[in-house]
Amino acid sequence: MFNAPLALQAISLARRVACGTVPDDLTYTVRRSDRARSVRVRVEHDGEVTVTLPRRAREREAAAAVRELRPWIDRRVADAAAARSAIPREPGTVPYLGGTLRLVEQTGRTRAHRRGDLLLVPGAGPDQRAAIERWFRRAARTEVLPRLDVAAAAVGRGYTRLTIRDQRTRWGSCSATGAIAINWRLLLGPEEVLDYVIWHEACHLAVMDHSPRFWGLLARHVPGYDQPRDWLRRSAPALTL
């Protein structure tokens, strides 16, 4: 299993109610949630700061939390900026395994379709984003399946199922029954990072833990695996549409 680092867990079912600032012009968004039992601060992948308050909490508690956590917030904002710079993006493009695909909007289109370095998509709006994500899911299966077949054969173990998922905190997993799951968002990063995660999970078919035996097996098949692993740890927030 390969997990991405978390900031602080966001509260679901929260809604935006206000924005605020603290000294040095740090702007943050305040949300309220019936599920929240305490004040929580989160730095999003784009550097936006969000404060979640319990429904009955006073709004000044958000400012107090931001002031108290300001050093941590500044570090997280800097980390988010560094992560975004790891995948340079131009307007009208999406990253794909270390390269880019240029978006071409077509009226009446409902599905995204790749044509060389072009990705034909519906017109701007929520339908476009949904179509792009569905295309990435399909592309992920196409990219992952043959690579996983090679990796599983190399470690001498078979897998029972491949699932393409969309998770915020996990890039891949391998169950005790040999079911492999891979996050489609890996296609937004370099090709070697996708390969690393596939090999990581394939090695779990033979060794289910993260013992020295596991890392030794991975090193035999992916020399220098620490480089894509470290890239993923640093730049995971950039793997988003």
Please enumerate, as own/partner, the contacts of 71-76 that have beta carbons within 8 Å and a separation of 24 or more.
73/26, 73/41, 73/43, 73/49, 76/7, 76/43
CATH of domain 139-238: 3.30.2010.10
Task: Name the nearest CA neighbour of 175 among 165, 185, 188, 187.
Answer: 165
What is the gyration radius of the CA atoms in the chain, in angstroms? 20
Domain boundaries, the chain: 7-85, 93-131, 139-238
Predicted pLDDT of residue 20: 53
Q: Could you list the pLDDT tens digit for every one of the 241 residues in the chain?
A: 655 443 333 333 333 445 555 556 788 989 899 888 899 998 876 778 999 999 888 888 999 999 999 999 988 888 777 777 767 778 899 999 999 999 999 988 999 999 999 999 998 888 899 999 999 999 999 999 999 999 999 999 999 999 999 987 789 999 999 999 999 999 999 999 999 999 999 999 999 999 999 999 999 999 999 999 999 988 887 888 7
Note the pLDDT tens digit of each residue in 135-169. 999 999 999 999 999 999 999 999 999 999 998 77
Using DSSP, state whether 135 is helix, strand or coil.
helix
Distance between CA atoms of residues 174 and 171, nearest Å:
11
The pTM is what?
A: 0.72
Both tokens assigned to 232 = 């993923």
Question: Among all chains, which residue has been given the structure tokens 């992560």?
Answer: 83
CA dihedral 196, 202, 204, 205 (to 10 degrees): 180
Note the pLDDT tens digit of each residue in 100-141. 999 999 988 999 999 999 999 998 888 899 999 999 999 999
Predicted pLDDT of residue 2: 58
Establish how many alpha carbons lie within 13 A of residue 72's alpha carbon, considering only the half-sphere containing its beta carbon: 12
Predicted pLDDT of residue 22: 53
